[in-house]
Amino acid sequence: MAESRHIETQCIHEGWQPRNGEPRQLPIYQSTTFKYDSSEEMGRLFDLEAAGYFYTRLQNPTNDAVAAKITAMEGGVAGMLTASGQAANFFALFNICEAGDHFIASSAIYGGTYNLFGVTMKKMGIDCTFVDQNLSEAELDQYFRSNTKAVFGETITNPTVSVLDLEKFARLAHRHGVPLIIDNTFATPVNCRPFEWGTDIVTHSTTKYMDGHGVTVGGCIVDSGNFDWLAHKDKFPGLTQPDPSYHGLVYAEAFGKGAYITKATAQLMRDFGSTQSPQNAFYLNLGLESLPLRMQRHCQNGQAVATFLSQQEQVAWIDYPDLPGDRYHALAQKYLPHGSCGVMAFAVKGGREAAIRFMDSLKLITIVTHVADSKTCLLHPASHTHRQLTDEQLRESGIAPDLIRLSVGVENSEDLIADLRQALAAV
């Protein structure tokens, strides 16, 4: 489809374009396997000599249609769905890192990703250095090693809603001959397209705004096709040396700009199998159709709620990049000119106890371990996800003991503000 179309149009029409007499809506290919007339044809698929479907663990037409839609939205060249956002981030790195390698990640990233990088991947022999994303380029330069293979960050971090300086990180990564991988979950391509700022690979937890209704866990990886693997041949042997599991095929030579996603599909999905179910891909596609409308409302509501909270006597502090006084407002204006997202962090005066009383007084807004869907919800990490930590330990992990993460949905903002007002009065 014409690349110049706007994202609202892409969200409706990209991916599945029915031919004459075919279903108007994206069909769910609820099939593990695909039939061929000759063993010759099937064999060519297994050798990656022909493109086609043979087993859903590797590829499925429903999934591919949805991945193609997200790829178009991001302005990339190839993409794939994964079973979760965790799987997307793991594969995005494991596709180019192996035991003995190292990568650099912002320390402000989502807790689940922090564990994956800092604990589990370490056990696999892949070392990660966490850095303060607000350091200068010269300071960040010092963390690179000869075995560094990638730089990782989030457009807007979860839960501290810090905006990453994408251009700074892209310059840094490229100066050291490695790709920049950005988790674009909170911004979505509706509000930021990281490839336009030099990012090489984008990941998503589609569980959040893309699905938007809190019904499916899923992930996605999109490649811009811009990183030149062959120019850094020694650093990325997985892409530039023969793959013995495919008769010595060299991905970067055989597939050009499609090499990274082809390898992740043909090798990692084949071996790890963290595939999204076609049924979930179908739900995700429905969510994507309304994503631009919802993001607009999430941002309008976010602005209204954040402005209200910032004016309340009982509120100790609030972080929301769209507020003029926010420490990330300048970066948000550059990278997120149409708004950031519906997530904000704030605190009620009076510490943990006040936070608990406030939350228990809410009537419309619910306490759930989720963010970024249509229903407004909140979470207090100190009494929920991180409750085993002391205040001291919380501060060490960058989370204030009084931090409340509020994810503003798409209800009417007056009703949300009324609920917040009565709960603040009860504190």
At closest approach, how far in Å is the CB of 228 from ligand PLP? 27
Give 280's contacts (C-beta < 8 A, 6+ positions apart).
216, 217, 218
At closest approach, how far in Å is the CB of 331 from ligand PLP? 17
* Residue 96 near residue 238 (C-beta atoms within 8 A): yes
For 359, the enclosing helix (H) or strand (E) is helix 351-360
Separation between Cα atoms, residue 221 and residue 224, nearest integer Å: 10
Place of tokens 């010595």: 248
Separation between Cα atoms, residue 226 and residue 233, nearest integer Å: 15
Q: How far is CA 362 from CA 276, 293, 393, 416, 425, in A?
A: 35, 27, 28, 10, 11
At closest approach, how far in Å is the CB of 110 from ligand PLP? 4
**Single-letter amino acid code for the residue at 405:** R
Place of tokens 């100066």: 175
Q: Report which of 183, 190, 228 is spatially closest to residue 74, judged by C-alpha positions.
A: 190
Report DSSP state, residue 276. P
Q: Long-range contacts of range 412-418, CB-CB < 8 Å, 24 or more positions apart?
A: 413/300, 413/301, 413/304, 413/305, 415/364, 416/301, 416/304, 416/305, 416/364, 416/365, 416/376, 417/304, 417/305, 417/308
At closest approach, how far in Å is the CB of 264 from ligand PLP? 17
Separation between Cα atoms, residue 112 and residue 225, nearest integer Å: 27
DSSP 78-103: EEEEESSHHHHHHHHHHTT--TT-EE
At closest approach, how far in Å is the CB of 120 from ligand PLP? 13
Residues that bind ligand PLP (CB under 6 A): 84-86, 110, 112-113, 154, 158, 183, 185, 205, 207-208, 217, 219
Query: Closest CB to ligand PLP among 371 and 424?
Result: 371
> Which residue minimizes CB distance to ligand PLP?
85
At closest approach, how far in Å is the CB of 202 from ligand PLP? 12
Bridge partners, residue 319, by sequence:
345
Query: Closest CB to ligand PLP among 154 and 243?
Result: 154
Separation between Cα atoms, residue 370 and residue 405, nearest integer Å: 10
At closest approach, how far in Å is the CB of 171 from ligand PLP? 23
Query: Closest CB to ligand PLP among 95 and 113?
Result: 113
Q: What is the CA radius of gyration of the chain?
A: 22
Query: Closest CB to ligand PLP among 158 and 188?
Result: 158
At closest approach, how far in Å is the CB of 146 from ligand PLP? 29
At closest approach, how far in Å is the CB of 405 from ligand PLP? 11
Query: Closest CB to ligand PLP among 185 and 301?
Result: 185
In 223-350, alpha helices (H):
237-240, 251-255, 259-263, 270-272, 278-289, 291-310, 329-335
* Residue 220 near residue 246 (C-beta atoms within 8 A): no
- Cα 187 from chain centre: 9
Query: Closest CB to ligand PLP among 48 and 406?
Result: 406
Query: Closest CB to ligand PLP among 112 and 258?
Result: 112
Query: Closest CB to ligand PLP among 149 and 208?
Result: 208
Query: Closest CB to ligand PLP among 71 and 158?
Result: 158
At closest approach, how far in Å is the CB of 87 from ligand PLP? 7
At closest approach, how far in Å is the CB of 417 from ligand PLP? 25
Laid out side by side, the sheet with 201-205 consists of 78-82, 219-223, 201-205, 180-183, 148-154, 102-106, 127-131
Query: Closest CB to ligand PLP among 214 and 339?
Result: 214
Query: Closest CB to ligand PLP among 158 and 275?
Result: 158
Separation between Cα atoms, residue 212 and residue 371, nearest integer Å: 9
